[in-house]
Amino acid sequence: RPKVGVLALQGDVREHLAALTAAGADAVGVRRPRELAAVDALVVPGGESTTISKLAVHFDLMEPLRDVVVRGLPVLGTCAGMVLLADRIVDGTADQRTIGGLDVTVRRNGFGRQVDSFEQDLDMVGVEGRVHAVFIRAPYVVDVGPGVEVLAALEDGRDPGRIVAVRQGSLMATSFHPEVGGDSRVHGSFLDLVRSA
Protein backbone atom coordinates (compact mmCIF):
# COMPACT_ATOMS: atom_id res chain seq x y z
CA ARG A 1 0.00 0.00 0.00
CA PRO A 2 1.45 3.39 -0.95
CA LYS A 3 1.80 5.78 1.98
CA VAL A 4 -0.15 8.91 1.06
CA GLY A 5 -0.15 12.05 3.19
CA VAL A 6 -2.96 14.60 3.44
CA LEU A 7 -1.80 18.13 4.20
CA ALA A 8 -3.56 18.58 7.53
CA LEU A 9 -3.39 22.33 8.22
CA GLN A 10 -7.01 23.23 7.44
CA GLY A 11 -9.85 21.91 5.31
CA ASP A 12 -11.53 18.58 4.72
CA VAL A 13 -8.65 16.37 5.79
CA ARG A 14 -10.66 13.57 7.34
CA GLU A 15 -12.73 12.94 4.21
CA HIS A 16 -9.57 12.58 2.12
CA LEU A 17 -8.02 10.18 4.63
CA ALA A 18 -11.17 8.03 4.40
CA ALA A 19 -11.30 8.12 0.58
CA LEU A 20 -7.58 7.26 0.29
CA THR A 21 -7.97 4.36 2.71
CA ALA A 22 -10.98 3.08 0.75
CA ALA A 23 -8.94 3.34 -2.48
CA GLY A 24 -6.15 1.19 -1.01
CA ALA A 25 -3.61 3.63 0.44
CA ASP A 26 -2.02 3.89 3.84
CA ALA A 27 -3.25 7.44 4.60
CA VAL A 28 -1.69 9.81 7.14
CA GLY A 29 -2.03 13.48 8.07
CA VAL A 30 0.98 15.70 7.34
CA ARG A 31 1.74 18.76 9.50
CA ARG A 32 5.53 18.77 9.74
CA PRO A 33 8.42 18.68 7.28
CA ARG A 34 9.60 15.30 8.58
CA GLU A 35 6.11 13.85 8.03
CA LEU A 36 6.14 15.21 4.48
CA ALA A 37 9.51 13.59 3.88
CA ALA A 38 8.07 10.17 4.79
CA VAL A 39 5.20 9.90 2.27
CA ASP A 40 5.06 8.46 -1.28
CA ALA A 41 2.44 11.01 -2.37
CA LEU A 42 0.41 13.93 -1.02
CA VAL A 43 -3.12 15.30 -1.16
CA VAL A 44 -3.68 19.04 -0.70
CA PRO A 45 -7.33 19.24 0.38
CA GLY A 46 -10.12 21.72 -0.15
CA GLY A 47 -10.70 24.40 2.43
CA GLU A 48 -9.49 27.98 2.20
CA SER A 49 -6.40 28.41 0.06
CA THR A 50 -5.20 31.64 1.72
CA THR A 51 -5.51 30.08 5.19
CA ILE A 52 -3.72 26.89 4.12
CA SER A 53 -0.86 28.86 2.57
CA LYS A 54 -0.48 31.11 5.64
CA LEU A 55 -0.39 28.05 7.90
CA ALA A 56 2.09 26.34 5.57
CA VAL A 57 4.42 29.34 5.91
CA HIS A 58 3.89 29.38 9.69
CA PHE A 59 4.70 25.67 10.04
CA ASP A 60 7.82 25.95 7.81
CA LEU A 61 6.17 23.75 5.20
CA MET A 62 6.02 26.08 2.18
CA GLU A 63 9.60 25.50 0.98
CA PRO A 64 9.49 21.72 1.69
CA LEU A 65 6.20 21.54 -0.24
CA ARG A 66 7.75 23.35 -3.21
CA ASP A 67 10.76 21.03 -3.03
CA VAL A 68 8.73 17.81 -3.14
CA VAL A 69 6.73 19.11 -6.11
CA VAL A 70 9.93 20.01 -7.98
CA ARG A 71 11.37 16.58 -7.19
CA GLY A 72 8.30 14.87 -8.68
CA LEU A 73 6.33 13.66 -5.67
CA PRO A 74 2.81 12.79 -6.88
CA VAL A 75 0.40 15.42 -5.54
CA LEU A 76 -3.40 15.66 -5.86
CA GLY A 77 -4.91 19.08 -5.16
CA THR A 78 -8.67 19.46 -4.79
CA CYS A 79 -10.50 22.80 -4.86
CA ALA A 80 -8.36 25.05 -2.60
CA GLY A 81 -5.63 22.45 -3.23
CA MET A 82 -5.93 23.14 -6.98
CA VAL A 83 -5.46 26.87 -6.27
CA LEU A 84 -2.36 26.03 -4.20
CA LEU A 85 -0.80 23.92 -6.97
CA ALA A 86 -1.44 26.50 -9.71
CA ASP A 87 1.42 28.59 -11.06
CA ARG A 88 -0.96 31.51 -11.72
CA ILE A 89 -4.09 32.72 -9.92
CA VAL A 90 -6.75 35.13 -11.12
CA ASP A 91 -8.84 36.81 -8.39
CA GLY A 92 -6.61 35.66 -5.55
CA THR A 93 -5.84 37.94 -2.63
CA ALA A 94 -3.00 40.40 -3.26
CA ASP A 95 -0.49 38.55 -1.08
CA GLN A 96 -1.65 35.03 -1.89
CA ARG A 97 1.22 32.56 -2.13
CA THR A 98 1.05 29.16 -3.77
CA ILE A 99 3.10 26.01 -3.83
CA GLY A 100 2.91 26.08 -7.62
CA GLY A 101 4.26 23.54 -10.08
CA LEU A 102 1.15 23.10 -12.20
CA ASP A 103 1.40 25.14 -15.40
CA VAL A 104 -2.15 26.45 -15.30
CA THR A 105 -4.01 29.67 -14.56
CA VAL A 106 -6.80 29.16 -12.06
CA ARG A 107 -9.65 31.54 -11.30
CA ARG A 108 -10.30 31.42 -7.58
CA ASN A 109 -14.01 31.37 -6.62
CA GLY A 110 -14.51 31.11 -10.38
CA PHE A 111 -18.21 30.35 -10.33
CA GLY A 112 -19.14 33.57 -8.57
CA ARG A 113 -20.97 34.32 -5.42
CA GLN A 114 -24.68 33.99 -6.13
CA VAL A 115 -24.42 30.30 -6.71
CA ASP A 116 -21.52 29.19 -4.58
CA SER A 117 -22.08 25.50 -4.93
CA PHE A 118 -23.45 23.10 -7.52
CA GLU A 119 -23.12 19.49 -8.60
CA GLN A 120 -22.71 17.88 -12.00
CA ASP A 121 -22.04 14.41 -13.39
CA LEU A 122 -18.92 14.30 -15.55
CA ASP A 123 -16.68 12.04 -17.55
CA MET A 124 -13.11 12.05 -16.26
CA VAL A 125 -10.04 10.59 -17.99
CA GLY A 126 -8.74 7.65 -15.93
CA VAL A 127 -12.02 7.00 -14.10
CA GLU A 128 -14.55 4.47 -15.33
CA GLY A 129 -18.18 5.59 -15.36
CA ARG A 130 -19.59 8.97 -14.47
CA VAL A 131 -18.17 11.07 -11.65
CA HIS A 132 -20.60 12.99 -9.44
CA ALA A 133 -18.67 16.25 -9.03
CA VAL A 134 -19.45 18.59 -6.12
CA PHE A 135 -18.30 22.21 -6.53
CA ILE A 136 -18.09 24.38 -3.40
CA ARG A 137 -16.88 27.97 -4.02
CA ALA A 138 -14.75 26.22 -6.56
CA PRO A 139 -11.95 27.49 -8.79
CA TYR A 140 -11.75 26.58 -12.46
CA VAL A 141 -8.85 26.37 -14.89
CA VAL A 142 -8.68 29.39 -17.22
CA ASP A 143 -5.80 28.12 -19.37
CA VAL A 144 -3.28 25.31 -19.43
CA GLY A 145 0.35 25.10 -20.53
CA PRO A 146 1.50 22.63 -23.21
CA GLY A 147 2.39 19.85 -20.77
CA VAL A 148 -1.01 19.78 -19.10
CA GLU A 149 -3.63 17.16 -19.90
CA VAL A 150 -7.29 18.09 -19.40
CA LEU A 151 -9.00 15.28 -17.47
CA ALA A 152 -12.49 16.75 -17.17
CA ALA A 153 -14.57 19.73 -18.26
CA LEU A 154 -18.09 20.80 -17.40
CA GLU A 155 -20.67 19.29 -19.70
CA ASP A 156 -24.32 20.31 -20.03
CA GLY A 157 -25.83 22.73 -17.60
CA ARG A 158 -23.55 25.19 -15.92
CA ASP A 159 -20.69 26.76 -17.92
CA PRO A 160 -20.09 23.90 -20.38
CA GLY A 161 -16.48 23.50 -21.48
CA ARG A 162 -14.86 24.91 -18.37
CA ILE A 163 -11.84 22.84 -17.35
CA VAL A 164 -12.26 21.31 -13.90
CA ALA A 165 -9.64 18.54 -13.71
CA VAL A 166 -6.07 18.43 -15.03
CA ARG A 167 -2.86 16.43 -14.84
CA GLN A 168 0.74 17.38 -15.53
CA GLY A 169 3.34 14.69 -14.88
CA SER A 170 2.79 13.54 -11.32
CA LEU A 171 0.52 16.47 -10.40
CA MET A 172 -3.26 16.15 -10.56
CA ALA A 173 -5.90 18.69 -9.59
CA THR A 174 -9.68 18.92 -9.49
CA SER A 175 -11.94 21.96 -8.99
CA PHE A 176 -14.46 19.71 -7.32
CA HIS A 177 -14.44 17.62 -4.15
CA PRO A 178 -13.93 13.92 -4.97
CA GLU A 179 -13.67 13.13 -1.25
CA VAL A 180 -17.35 13.79 -0.54
CA GLY A 181 -20.08 11.26 -1.19
CA GLY A 182 -18.25 8.03 -0.48
CA ASP A 183 -16.88 7.50 -3.99
CA SER A 184 -13.14 6.76 -4.00
CA ARG A 185 -12.61 6.25 -7.75
CA VAL A 186 -10.87 9.61 -8.31
CA HIS A 187 -8.51 8.79 -5.43
CA GLY A 188 -8.08 5.36 -7.04
CA SER A 189 -7.01 6.99 -10.28
CA PHE A 190 -4.54 9.15 -8.31
CA LEU A 191 -3.14 5.96 -6.74
CA ASP A 192 -2.66 4.54 -10.28
CA LEU A 193 -0.54 7.64 -10.96
CA VAL A 194 1.37 7.11 -7.69
CA ARG A 195 2.12 3.47 -8.56
CA SER A 196 3.32 4.39 -12.06
CA ALA A 197 5.53 7.26 -10.80
Binding mask 163-192 for ligand GLN (x = CB under 6 A): ------------------------------
Would you say 14 is a known binding-site residue? no
Non-local (6+) Cβ contacts of 80 within 8 A are: 11, 44, 45, 46, 47, 48, 49, 52, 139
C-alpha radius of gyration, the chain, whole number: 15
Shortest distance in whole angstroms from residue 34 CB to ligand GLN: 26
Would you say 2 or 55 has its CB closer to ligand GLN?
55
3-state secondary structure of 171: strand
Shortest distance in whole angstroms from residue 49 CB to ligand GLN: 3
3-state secondary structure of 40: coil
Indicate the angle between helix axes 62-70 and 49-58, nearest 10 degrees: 100
> Which residues, 126 to 155, sit near ligand GLN by CB under 6 A?
136-137
108 binds ligand GLN (CB under 6 A): yes
Q: Is 79 a catalytic residue?
A: yes
Question: What residues make contact with ligand GLN under the rule CB under 6 A?
Answer: 46-49, 79-80, 83, 108-109, 136-137
